[in-house]
Each structure stands twice: as structure tokens, then as C-alpha cells.
Structure 1
Amino acid sequence: MPYPPCVESVDTLNVGIEDCCFLNPYEAIKLIRAHRHLVRNVTGYPSKRGIYVDQCMDIGHIENIHFWPFGINYNPEEPYCKWVNTQGVAFELGRTDWHYILNTFCFGYGVGYKFSETKAGSTNGNFLGLGADSCRRAVLVEQAQSPGLLITNGEFVGRWSSTDSVCLEIGPEVEGKVSLVNCSFWGPIDRCVWMRSPVGQFTASACNFVDWDNRGQGSPAIQIDSGKAIVQGCTFVREGLNVRIGQRVRSAILSANQAAGGFRVENHAGSRVQTLANEKAPEMTAEARSYYRIQLGAIGDGQFLREWYERERIGKDPGRTMRWSRPVSQLILPVIAGKPYEISIELSIPSQAEAPDAGLYLEGKRVAELPKGSTMLRAKLAPCTAETMMFELRCRGWVPAKVNPESKDDRTLGVCVHSIVMRADGAGEKVFDANKGE
């Protein structure tokens, strides 16, 4: 550190730091071999690091801490705020045994809670009521002792305006267990959990995953690259890929989870993954597959979409919904093998999205151009041998903020899609609601 901490305690017993405000220090509190310390009722906005603990061999306590941009008109892209929001660490624990952290909160840091490895070792402890808002990494685990990190009642939100935030990252060297119970994840998040350690173990129980994949690139809520994992009794609020299991995973048990659109797992580890009693996607009978409608922007549409923006409502009418596509967005639509179909897509096409090669593509071939002067795209589809057809809707990307100086929307949009209808030759008159599975 280029600057000394505001408060430092080295080789002490029973030191206490209470009822203090650290308004703008580079580093607020540093505790080295400060055994049985008690830090509580502390507020402030340290820029580089809030509290650092190392070589605490007897139980330390940190309680009721609130690190927040006091005295700052917070803007995640303002240079000072952005520096803290990408480089700052609110809480960092090196070697500390049986540590207790209770009811703490931080806002606008690169890392909210960092568990690092020093020459003396790493951490085990009890962490209750952790809160990290607008953090690029709410929790970053570089190492943990074998008794593990016991995290309960955590609330984790990604960095505002970001597209690469991961709420819990477990690094490739971690040996101890990381356990989450009754935690919640929401906001601008790419992945809620990223487990990378081949020798570690991760568990999540009774957790609530509200948001993820804010880039619309198909990121999972939980990504398990290697090691062992248990995910049980969790809820996933939005539709999308819930868990991705990598080839190097030694064991994964996924049970009793509920997810909008059905619990979805991408399994690259074969029989080393066990699933039981998870919510299933609504089933579509052959009759339903023959003639159905998908309302984009309504609950239940996500199971058919990849790389789209979030749901939106048109005006105040709850029945008028839509989604914006990206320059390339995918549709995964159920069909009856061997049957020809007609697809009809209701959409609005801004002039900025028009391009010579724009249109609807199936297996790399354009089956329909974007219609000019019309709100309906239609195409006849030859029979296929599979039970799904995967389409790409392609167009020129455009940014509203560059078209309209008064707009603050810096997304790269495509076209606005309202609904999709798939009808097989010889289908009956009943149109099934694919969003609801009925």
C-alpha cells in the first residue's frame, strides 16, 4: 500500500474499534496479529481497502459496518467512483481462524469481500448478513481453510453499468469448502456463481437467483468448471440456463430446485452429475407443437430465446409486451419431426436495423428477408428430422443514444419482436399458448 492505514493494530490483544466514521481514507483499518479484536458500528468510504485482517489466531469479530460513498455524488463511470468500483476492496481476510462477520454492507467496490491467502494461510469462519451492492465481485475467494467459509443471508448485486460482474468467484487454488445458505443475487450480473477450483467444494442451499446473463450471451446463473458442487432447494426467478457443469467436475448433485421455464442444466460431465426432483419445463404435446404462439416479453418466453434483451411492456397495457433482439439473436422452436411449418413473426423494424443481409436464418441459410413496410415476417419451412429448429434473426445493430441525443439507452439493439407463431401443415384450429404450456 502506498499510504498507511488510518488505524493500524499489530501484535495486540482485545483491541476495539467502535463508533467511527472513516470518510475518505486510502485504507481504513488494518489488523495484523490483533487477536480477539472487535470492530463494530463503523461507517465510511475507504477508497482502496476498508478492513484488512491477517494472522488472527484467536477469534475476531467485525459487526455492523457500512461502507458507502458518503460525501460523493455516486456515478459508476465517474473516474474516482469507477476506480474504487474496480480496484477497491471493502473487506479482506487473510489468515484468520474462526472469524465472525455479522451484518455488514458495502457499496461500489471492485471486491466486496475478499478471502485471500497470505504467507500465514487463509480463513475459516462464520459470515452472517453480508451485503455487497454494485460490486464487480461481491465475494472473491482466493483460498479458504478446510473448515470452510459459512456464508448465510447474503445479498449480492453486480456492479452498476457492468456486463462482467460475478457475485461469487471461487478461484482455481481454493481448497476449503464455500457454503451459501439463504442468499440472494440480483441486478446487473453476468454469472451469480463461478466455481473454478478442481479440489474445492461449493454448496448452495435455499438461495434465490433473480438476475444473471445481463449481456444476453447465454451465461448460466451458476457455472461449475471443476471440483464438487451441491445445489439444492434453490429458486431461479428468470428463465435461462440455470447451471453449467464443466468437463472437469468430479461430482455435482442438483436437487429440488425450482426455476421459471423449468430447471435447465448444461452437463459436460456425464454421469458424474446427478439431478433429482427439479422443476420441469412445461411439456408440449404433439398437438401443441403443431400450432402454437409465443408472446415475447411475457413470462415463459425465455425457454425459446437466446441472446435477447430483457422483457419490456408497451405502455401501460400488461398484455402488450415485447423484447428487443440483438444484431444476432436465436430462436429455439419445438416442431414435429417430418412436418413442414410456416413461421410468422410479428415485429417492428427500425430503419437503422435494415441491412441487405438482414433476415431470418435457419442452419445458416436465409429463409426470409426482413419485410419492408410490414410488421409481419413469414416463411415456409421444409420438414426436418429433429424436434427443434434453431433460427437466427439477423440485422444491423444500432444504439439509441447515437440516434437520439436525448436517449440514455446505450444498448446495441436489433428489431422489436412481439410474438411468434409456428403452424404445421394440417394443424387444427386451436392455437396453444407456449408461454404457459397450455
Structure 2
Amino acid sequence: MAASLPAAEAPRERTSSAAMALNVQDFGAAGDGAKDDTEAFRSAMDAAVKAGNCAVFVPRGHYLIKGRLDIPPTVTLQGVFTAPSARSKDEGSVLLAVAGAGDAKGQPFITLRTSSSLRGLTIFYPGQEMKNPPVPYPWTIQGQGDNICLTDILLVNPYQAVDFGTYPAGRHFISGLYGQPLYRGLFIDQCYDVGRVENVHFWSFWGGWEGELYVFMRSEAVAFVLGRTDWQFLSKCFCIGYKIGYHFVQNQAGPGNCVLTQCGSDIGPTAVRVEGGQAHAGHSFVNCQFMAGVEIAPTNTGPVKFTACGFWGIPTTDHHAIIDGTGHTTFNGCHFNGWGQHDREAPAIHARSGGLTVSACDFMDLGKAQITLEPEVVSALIYGNRLRGKERITNRAGGRAQIALNAVSA
């Protein structure tokens, strides 16, 4: 019979994936929420580099980090979670972030270097407040290098969550990122080789749906900000209650091109805003759901395509799409419901300029205007759609528009 170990000699907690990892508690981390564990984490990661760039395991506990953490190249900082968690700020491997209060442009809480990883952790800001505005903090996680990985991470109440755009971060991989970013969620820019993002969920579980904080989020917060990224893939990403769900911007590095599948933006006035897209590639949405509106800005030059997507309104929705710019926007196999909430004469799609194709779509609201084409529209194809009550397509583009084979039903 094997002899039992005295309590003082009991082995440290491990997970199977962290069996060969260094343990932050072996470097003096207390995990009691009171002692500053910053130096213990730094020492453990320094040792990981010397040991051949291995993982550093963070057992269950509340680790107060008064400073910042820098994850060296090819090192993994790993907690106990092996799936995305929610409402777990009191469970699992929790980092308590306190540095940078009041300074949104300060040094990030965690910096990830080339080929480093962050896994299975919860990060909570105990000093954050449910007010309008909330306390500004720097980015929680910032990437500075290629091949960075985030998996199974819960960011409970970050002011700004993940920054993979201030510095180049190509071939990044994000999977299982949950949280309630209060001002900015995921920012991607300067990605010059394919980035991959999946299973992201941003929602108001910490601050709730009422009160001052939610007023701030509905008027200021953006879930996803996407700039220059060459072949960005997003799959099964979701946000709810944000001013803008997916914001495609054009910064110094230029516009990007993105493919989004099975993504959604719920209960927000602007689900998608496109200010820039690469002229040869643009952005494509497939099997997505949006509540409520799409805005294509005058600055956009690239194609924007919606395939098999659903659109439905909230109490402030007049249009499901307002289209400007010189790019071409396509809706194929989509359905539209609940527009014209204030202006009953507002069309579901209002094309002010650029090009437009609408085919095999279902405009579900009885008797409401479906599409308006303004004189600055350079070309339009409107065909094979189902309209309810009567056809209400206004064509001010003249012969540059082809409108045919649309069926009207009750």
C-alpha cells in the first residue's frame, strides 16, 4: 500500500494538459486575493524561458496582480478552464487586475509576444464600477507578434478587452473568448497573414441590462473593430447590447477583408458598419443574423456581401441597410422583418450610391416600402424577391437599375 503524503508535501494541483508545466505557486504566488502575486508570475515565466519555453500553470485561486504581465515568446500561461466560462469571477484561475485605472491609453495588463498563449483564465477588475461612464482602463490583453493564441478566456468587466491591432499580430488564433467589454471588445488591425477567430460571446452578464452602465454601452460601446486584416476569418461570434456590433474601419494600414460565418449582433441599433473594405475582396457575411441595421459608409470602396442572413428590427429601426460609398453591396437569400418603426414610409434598404444586388430575399412586413434607389446609384439588380402586400420599390436611378420577377403575396 502506498504511503499517504503529509499535507505539507501534497502535490500541487495539476490538469492533464499542464502536467509538465511550471506552477506559479512554486514561485511564491499565494492566490489569496490579498498578496501581490505579480513578481511570482514574472519569476515563473522567466523560469519557463530558461526551461525551454514551456507552460506556466495557474491553479485555482484569486491572484492579485498589481503590475503588468509580459508573456515571453512561445510561453503559455494556463489556468484550469478547458472550455469558455461565464459568471466565474469567484471560481477557477482568476487574475485580479488593478493597474492603469483612469488611463485608457496606458500599458496593457497582459502583453503576448510571438507564439505565446493565454489559456483557461478569468480576468476581473475589482475596481471597475457600474456607472456612466465606467472607469477607463488600458487594454486587458495586447498582442505584439505573430502566432498568438487565446483560448477559453473569460474577461468579466474589461473597459477594453483584446488589442490585436496596435501592433502587427498575424496568424492569431482566438477560440472561446467570453466577456462583457464595456467600451471596446476585440480590435484587429495590421494583420498581414490570415487571422482566425471563433466562438466569441460578448454580453451584459456582469453589469446587467439596466442602469447607468448599460446606457453607456448602448451609446458608446463597440464589440468588434476590424481594420487592416488580410483574410480574416470569424465564425460563431456574437454580441448583444452594443452601439455597434461589427465595425470595419480604415486606419493608417488601410482597409481589410473579412469572411464571417454564423455570426450575430443582437439588440443594437447598428449591427454592422463598414467604413472600409479592400476593393478587390471586401467583406462577406454568410448565415449571420443581425438586429438591427447595416451602414455602408461613403468611404467604402469594396464589395460587401450578405448571403442567407436574417435582419429584424428593434424599436428604433427604420432601415435595415443604408448604403453609401462606391462599392457594390449584395443581399442574396436574406429576410427582412420589423423595419419602419418610426417612419412607416422608410424602405428596408436605402441605396444612396454605389451598386446594389438584391435577389431571392423575403421582405416580410406587409405593405411597407422595400427598396429605394437614389440617382447616385451606379447599378442595381433587384430580382426574384418575395414582397408582401404590394411592390414598393422606388427607382430614381433610371436605366441603371434592372427590376424584375419579384413576386407579391399577402
Q: TM-score, normalised by structure 1?
A: 0.60
2:176 is aligned with 1:38: no
Residue 151 (structure 2) aligns with: 18
Question: 1:249-268 maps to which residues of 2 (within 5 A)?
Answer: 249-268=377-396
Equivalence for 2:258: 125
Name the stretch that deviates more: 110-119 or 265-274: 265-274
Q: Which residue identity is paired with 1:211?
A: G
> What is residue 333 of structure 1 aligned with on the other side?
none
Matching residue of 1:139:
272
Return the offset for 1:21.
0.7
Structure 2: tracts of 5 or more residues without a match: 1-103, 106-136
Gaps of 5+ in 1: 159-166, 282-299, 301-438
1:185 paired to 2:311? yes
1:58 maps to what in 2?
A: 193
- CA deviations on 1:251-305 (whole Å, 9 max, x unpaired) are 1110000011133201111121111100147xxxxxxxxxxxxxxxxxx5xxxxx
Q: In 1, distance between residues paired with 2:324 and 2:146?
A: 37
| Distance in 2 (alpha carbons) for counterparts of 1:25 and 1:71 | 10
Which residue in 1 is equivalent to 2:287? Answer: 153
Paired residues of 2:313 and 2:320 also in contact (CA < 8 A):
no
User: 2:137 matched to 1:9?
Assistant: no
Q: How many residues align?
A: 270
Q: Deviations over 1:196-225 (max 9, x none)?
A: 11x111010000101101114411100100
Within 1, Cα distance between the matches of 2:313 and 2:250? 29
Alignment check: 8 A CA contact 2:380 2:402 kept: yes
For 1:93 and 1:273, how far apart are their aligned partners in 2?
Answer: 32
Residue 238 (structure 2) pairs with residue 112 (structure 1): no
Q: Does 2:343 align with 1:210?
A: no
Q: SS in structure 2 opposite 1:86?
A: helix
2:235 aligned residue:
102
One-letter identity of the residue aligned with 1:115: F
**How far did residue 226 of structure 1 move?**
0.7
Comparing 98-107 with 187-196, which one deviates more in the overlay? 187-196
Q: How high is the TM-score relative to the length of structure 2?
A: 0.64
User: How do 1:232-271 residues align onto structure 2 when only pairs under 5 Å count?
Assistant: 232-239=359-366, 240-271=368-399
- For 2:299 and 2:259, the matched residues in 1 are separated by 21
SS in 1 for 2:245: strand
- What is the aligned-residue RMSD (CA, Å)? 1.2
Query: What is the alpha-carbon distance in structure 1 between the residues aligned to residue 290 and residue 282 of structure 2?
Result: 20
Look up the equivalent residue of 2:197 and give its one-letter code.
I
CA separation in 1, counterparts of 2:296 and 2:313? 20
Distance in 2 separating the partners of 1:81 and 1:279: 42
Whether the 8 Å contact between 1:257 and 1:263 is mirrored in structure 2 is no
Instruction: State whether residues 86 and 136 of structure 1, in contact with CA within 8 Å, keep that contact through their aligned partners in structure 2.
Output: no
DSSP-derived class of the 2:216 partner: helix
Q: Distance in 2 between matches of 1:91 and 1:73?
A: 20
Q: CA deviation at 1:62?
A: 0.7
CA distance in 1, matches of 2:209, 2:392: 37
Separation in 1 of the partners of 2:343 and 2:272? 23
Which structure carries more strand by proportion?
Answer: 1
Amino acid in the other structure paired with 1:184: G
**Partner Cα separation in structure 2 for residue 51 and residue 280 of structure 1:** 42
Q: Aligned AA for 1:207?
A: C
Which residue number corresponds to residue 174 of structure 1? Answer: 300
Percent of aligned pairs sharing the same letter: 33
1:16-415 matches, cutoff 5 A: 16-31=149-164, 32-75=167-210, 78-146=211-279, 147-158=281-292, 167-188=293-314, 189-197=317-325, 199-239=326-366, 240-280=368-408
Partner of 1:339: none
Q: Cα distance, 1:178 vs. partner?
A: 0.2
Q: Distance in 2 between matches of 1:269 and 1:30?
A: 42
The Cα shift of 1:187 comes to: 2.7
- CA shift for structure 1 position 109: 0.5
